[in-house]
């Protein structure tokens, strides 16, 4: 599995997690988040592994030590992804390294 595919799979899993949540009066927040994550997953799946966004996520440690293929944004990145409600797909990918760096300091 390529890094792009691993990232897309992670985002799809997070989208399903949001769809599976049942919250009364959420105002469609879970559905909006799920759609935004699915949109980003589609975008990410089409990126080559040498795309600057993928390389930036690798440098931020999202693919683990030694650049293994499994995407894991850590606690701060997961928190950002789980609360993402929209924007352009690349905006989420650009926001991840900053969130990860902010939590490390």
The pTM score is 0.90
pLDDT in tens, the chain (105 residues): 889 999 999 999 999 998 887 777 878 888 889 999 999 999 999 999 999 999 999 999 998 766 567 899 999 999 999 989 888 999 999 999 999 988 877
Tokens read off for 97: 């390294």
In the 3-class helix/strand/coil scheme, how is 10-61 assigned residue by residue? HHHHHHHHHHHCCCCCCCCHHHHHHHHHHHHHHHHHCCCCCCHHHHHHHHCC
28: left (phi over 0), alpha (psi -120 to 50) or beta: left
Q: What is the dihedral of CA 43, 93, 12, 35, to 10 degrees?
A: -70
Q: Report pLDDT for 39.
A: 95
Tokens read off for 79: 């928190």
Q: Report pLDDT for 66.
A: 62
């Amino acid at each position: 599995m390529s890094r792009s595919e691993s990232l897309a799979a992670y985002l799809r899993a997070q989208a399903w997690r949001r769809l599976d949540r049942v919250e009364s009066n959420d105002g469609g927040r879970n559905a909006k988040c799920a759609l935004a994550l699915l949109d980003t997953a589609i975008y990410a799946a089409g990126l080559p592994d040498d795309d600057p966004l993928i390389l930036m996520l690798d440098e931020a440690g999202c693919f683990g030590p030694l650049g293994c293929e499994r995407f894991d944004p850590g606690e701060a990145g997961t928190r950002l992804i789980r609360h993402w409600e929209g924007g352009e797909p690349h905006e989420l990918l650009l926001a991840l390294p900053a969130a990860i760096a902010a939590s490390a300091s």
